[in-house]
Amino acid sequence: MKYPRGVRAPNSNYQANKQVQYGQRGMTLEKDLDRTNQFYLDSKKAVIHKKPTPVQIVNVDYPSRNKAKITEAYFKVPSTSDYNGIYKGRYIDFEAKETRNKTRFPFINIHAHQVEHMRQCHLSGGIVFLIIKFTVHDEVFLYPFEHFVKHWDHFLNNGRKSITYEDIKNESIILPMKYNPRYDYLAAVDEFYIEMEQ
């Protein structure tokens, strides 16, 4: 900045720095949810964790004792959903997804085995939902599985291959970004699930 007028000083590195920040957008939702879950754990509100992806390590390169590097590994079994845990005595299971699409959430972003896992959790009485971030709009939604699965089942019967942004907006609860917790999705769980049951 040029002092005192606050005009940006010419900087050849400005464009490069801007590109680096843009390149990290894909991981922001997951990092924010991990931070939120840590806040819930620290405040004894809920115990919710990201599930590790089960992998089978096949080959490891040891260039030195402290620099072991996995060079070949395979997924043991198809993964289920991203997060699970317990809140107010209820099992919680959810998937977190980001899309850069402005107008829709394409089903190519989620796997059939993940949806079937969520369906089984829902049928067993769990609280199940998706957290979807539209990066272009910078909006994050808690999308109840009850609404999502209607679109999914329609897709399986040769229907649309996506859910429109407007449908998600109308059928979801928006999660505003805050300092801590980053996205208070349990407030939305209270609103949609817990309060409705009382």
The neighbour count for residue 102, using CB atoms within 10 Å, is 10
- Amino acid identity of residue 156, one-letter, is L
Round to whole Å and give the CA distance between 95 and 185: 12
82 has binding-site annotation: yes
Contacts 24+ apart (CB under 8 A), 66-74: none
> Amino acid identity, residue 37?
N
| Residue 19: φ, ψ to 5° | -70, -40
Closest CA to 96 of 125, 128, 133: 133
Q: Is 195 annotated as a binding residue?
A: no
Asked whether residue 80 is marked as a ligand-binding residue, the answer is yes
Compute the Cα dihedral for 14, 19, 20, 22 and give only its sign: positive
15 among the known binding-site residues?
Answer: no
Write the CA distances from 64 to 46, 58, 60, 70, 73, integer angstroms. 41, 18, 12, 13, 20
Task: Name the binding residues for Mg(2+).
Answer: 80, 82, 95, 114
Task: Name the binding residues.
Answer: 80, 82, 95, 114
